[in-house]
Chain A
């Protein structure tokens, strides 16, 4: 497999062969990914801890119900970031997590620098309107969140009475607020990504967005403490660090994430390549010392407890979780009986056994677990996941070479029967309703002529038919000059021969496509947990659950928050 590394070269560790793209880049496999220590949240917090960032709240102008504005500040050695926040009253019938919402409980902008009074005044006029506002290159990220009303009021009420909330209640939801969009990269006039990434800490993908979410999490604690204090006066207590750590920030994610995976194939290749390289490095180890074996034991047991706490309404996902629980019990039992890790290359043997005998959920969980064991071998890969490379065509190449790539890499597309209406059942589009990304039945709903170009398999299929009328020796340049409508498709094919993890090898237009598989893949790279599909089209997740609080980031074990188990976090995290 050609895995071009034309940007920064990863450190040269021995590694086994990478798992092939045709195995990994399938929807059902991608829909089984778990977050790992090279996920963006984990990588960001390691940098924040390493550089001893300081956090404070220089502005807090809230009324007794918690409505008003606040500024949270993160001070890095070479930069300051300020989260300007506006909180408002929201009627229950106005509270929707969909893009079509017009109001939110809280709205945010992350500023590159100190927030001046002018910034605050300007943003108070704009961020409550989100997409309808205008922003400047001072702002890196725009976001909004809604409260989990039941949990927020419950926690505020308990704190007002001088009591900590029941951990069970926190675990049932997992967050006080959930974001419904986190925008960056130039949207609505925000700073373009190259400006944000000029800060070394924010150079990785979605780092500014992940910093924003971490600050929103901290804000949610300040907000609930403020409301409790206003309600309970001197009797009120603050939410304890243990309870705070058990809470993350929720997120509702719909179809907007799916097009991203298609439109940024080189970037996706970099993400998956990093993860696969991490696995390959660990699998290459000839032996494991006793300390790492004990760490594996602990993590395997923690993963079992984490999965035991993972309950969702979605029947398909819940069935997978039940299978996974049984598989983890089996692994734990085999390990206790001394039947795991007994041969040379113990991690490779373990992976092979799981791959041969267990579900894809179990396989991908074990991938994340193995990566967790060797920080010194894999953490550099978290800094290899960005790219500035663009798709490019090779006009001097002959059509014969293009045909060869099609025949080699695109059997999944060429062998799909697109004459079958089921294989072209859906089209993806942006709705006039606040430009919400949607998917509709092509043969029933109006608008297929305006569809997004996500059906790459279908395009490949049609291109192959077109190429039958052309000689192998004709140049790509001549072909595209005369048939420019194939420009995008040809360029993508020529580019992705060098970036094999960039292409999802499934038909995204067919009835078998479940968009949540793509969402889970992307969210796992963010570092999300608690994947909770609400349909095939959207999911809720939790971010930063179990993560250390700002004042805890310097602790030696602060980075140990994989497979979070709320309620036992004191023992396992700090």
Chain B
């Protein structure tokens, strides 16, 4: 189905907000979902999977990094990159500020590691040199390294950029089932209607025949 970057972002934000993702993580991961979809990667599927499979109590996004000089490691314990991604990128940016381009962040047992591709890509657009390895096209890995070493050939950042340009011109092509799954989650942010809220909570009159 055809959709837009903004529609995916807004819907994903509501799904994450309703899913109790931390304030700010919901914003960043929503943008990341749209970025991935516009790039031709299954952001909505990863987001839907994360919301399907994670316990709301595991969506806090907090990390307990082990710091060893210029290196850091995080055991995600199976938590999803959808909720941890923004913090991991912040941590990597902090390590680079402190130690330069030799900093390395090892992330163990992270679910939906492919979701990190969008955060890495956006960080690169902002001037960072981050890469992730293994950059597995199937995104099956659960242990990844984030560093500033020579970019790997996968993913093909130029191809992802070209895909986003096409998405802007022609709309984002998203899988309808993935879209609908996240849409259902997004509806959970809506407050059930009552007669009181209908009559007094909002704006104009119920009929306007002037």
Contacts and interface: CB of A to CB of B under 8 A. Distances in A.
Interface in A314-360: none
A96 B190 contact: no
Interface in B118-164: none
Contacts of B18: 450
A192 B23 CA distance: 24
Contacts of A93: 207
A192 B168 contact: yes
A96 B204 contact: yes
A484 B62 contact: yes
Interface residues of A, number: 71
Given A137-B170, A189-B3, A431 B197 contact: yes
Interface stretch (B48-56, B87-95, B109-117): B87-95
Interface in B1-38: 2-7, 10, 18, 22-28
B202 A537 contact: yes
A393 B91 CA distance: 12
Given A97-B208, A137-B169, A477-B90, A484 B61 contact: yes
B202 A96 contact: no
A148 B210 contact: yes
A99 B202 contact: yes
Interface in A355-414: 393, 395-396
27 contacts: A96-B205, A96-B207, A96-B208, A97-B205, A136-B171, A137-B170, A146-B208, A185-B6, A186-B4, A186-B10, A189-B171, A252-B204, A396-B97, A429-B191, A432-B192, A433-B198, A439-B201, A439-B202, A440-B191, A445-B197, A445-B201, A477-B91, A481-B65, A484-B62, A485-B60, A488-B22, A488-B23
Interface in A422-478: 429-433, 435-440, 445-447, 450, 453, 459, 475, 477-478
Nearest to B190: A432
Given A92-B207, A430-B190, A489-B23, A482 B63 contact: yes
Interface in A142-186: 146, 148-150, 173, 180, 185-186
Contacts of B202: 98-100, 254-255, 431, 436-439, 537-538
A477 B61 CA distance: 13
Interface in B160-210: 168-171, 187-194, 196-198, 201-210
B86 interface: yes
Interface of A: 92-93, 95-100, 134, 136-137, 146, 148-150, 173, 180, 185-195, 252-255, 393, 395-396, 429-433, 435-440, 445-447, 450, 453, 459, 475, 477-478, 480-491, 534-535, 537-538
Contacts, number: 192
B77 to A, nearest CB: 15
B169 A149 contact: no
Given A100-B198, A436-B202, A191 B4 contact: yes
B94 to A, nearest CB: 4
Given A186-B7, A395-B90, A487-B86, A432 B193 contact: yes
Nearest to B193: A433
Given A192-B4, A433-B193, 11 more contacts: A137-B169, A187-B6, A189-B3, A189-B7, A189-B171, A395-B90, A446-B194, A477-B94, A485-B24, A487-B24, A534-B204
Interface of B: 2-7, 10, 18, 22-28, 60-65, 86-87, 90-91, 93-94, 97-98, 168-171, 187-194, 196-198, 201-210
A491 B201 CA distance: 31
A483 to B, nearest CB: 7
Nearest to A393: B90
Contacts of B3: 189
A439 to B, nearest CB: 6
A185 B188 CA distance: 23
Given A440-B201, A450-B190, A477-B94, A484 B87 contact: yes
A194 B65 CA distance: 38
Contact of A431 (B24, B25, B193, B209): B193
B196 A445 contact: yes
Contacts of B28: 487
B199 to A, nearest CB: 11
Given A97-B205, A481-B87, A432 B191 contact: yes
B2 A95 contact: no
Given A100-B198, A538-B203, A430 B189 contact: yes
Contact of A395 (B10, B93, B191, B207): B93
A137 B208 contact: no
A321 to B, nearest CB: 21
A149 B209 contact: yes
A199 to B, nearest CB: 13
A488 B202 CA distance: 27
Contacts of B201: 431, 438-440, 445
A481 B191 contact: no
A96 B205 CA distance: 7
Top 10 A-B residue pairs of the complex, sorted by shortest distance between their CB atoms:
A254-B203, A487-B24, A186-B6, A538-B203, A447-B191, A488-B24, A186-B4, A438-B201, A477-B94, A484-B61
